[in-house]
Amino acid sequence: MNEIFLIVIAYLMGSIPTAVWTSKAFFGIDIRDYGSGNSGATNTYRVLGAKWGTFVMIVDMLKALVAVKLAFFLPYEVHGDFYLVNMQLGLGLAAVVGHIFPVWAEFRGGKGVASLFGMVLGIQPNVAICCVGIFILVLYATRWVSLSSILASLAFPVFILFIFNEPETLYRVFAIVVALLVILTHQKNIGRILKGNENRLPILKHRDRRRQKSEKEND
């Protein structure tokens, strides 16, 4: 009974529509009516700017991270580490599902990448940091947040299965499911990437201008 109660709490925490409430409270708009129509951190960054995009990303991460830590309210020491890992996964997934299908925002949420990262950070911080490294490198090279998220999520099961060799079977399965879930929620982005018309994050513009100028001079 306590487990079910905490899972419901985790879902409700994940359902907090950070981007929607922020856009309505400070700008009088619904972020889902602008840009990509998504209520995640990336669309917030594009529409409302870096400050608010960063704020939304941090809060969305914290929702899942705190949800994972709810497992410590249960007597896991009685049941062992396997029980603790299972509960952390269940609570984290409940928060991620809440973010994607938020009860507080007509079940129209974000893609869950930031919340997934917060969940992994709460359970396996070393793996999370490695995935962030992949994300930053790809973002620096391409300025495509979607591609960065996809490649970081694909790296996640690689780190879990082969590099860190996580012994828990359920966590290994979870890593594979996460990669598939991110690919599933980014199908439209993948199509735009293949066509070359995916939106790029407005960062490193000076680098791109220098590169274009250098290419023109070489021509």
Residue 110 three-state SS: coil
Q: 120 with 64: CB under 8 angstroms?
A: no
Helix 145-158 to helix 125-142 angle, to the nearest 10 degrees? 150
pLDDT beyond 90 at 23:
yes
pLDDT beyond 60 at 8:
yes
The CA-CA-CA angle for residues 184, 187, 191, to 5°, reads 160
User: Over the chain, what is the mean pLDDT?
Assistant: 89
The pLDDT tens digits of the residues spanning 95-118 come to 999 999 999 999 999 989 999 999
Q: Residue 81: its pLDDT value, please?
A: 74
Q: 35 with 119: CB under 8 angstroms?
A: no
Structure pTM?
A: 0.84
Find the mean pLDDT for residues 10-34: 96
- pLDDT-derived band at 166, boundaries 50, 70, 90: confident
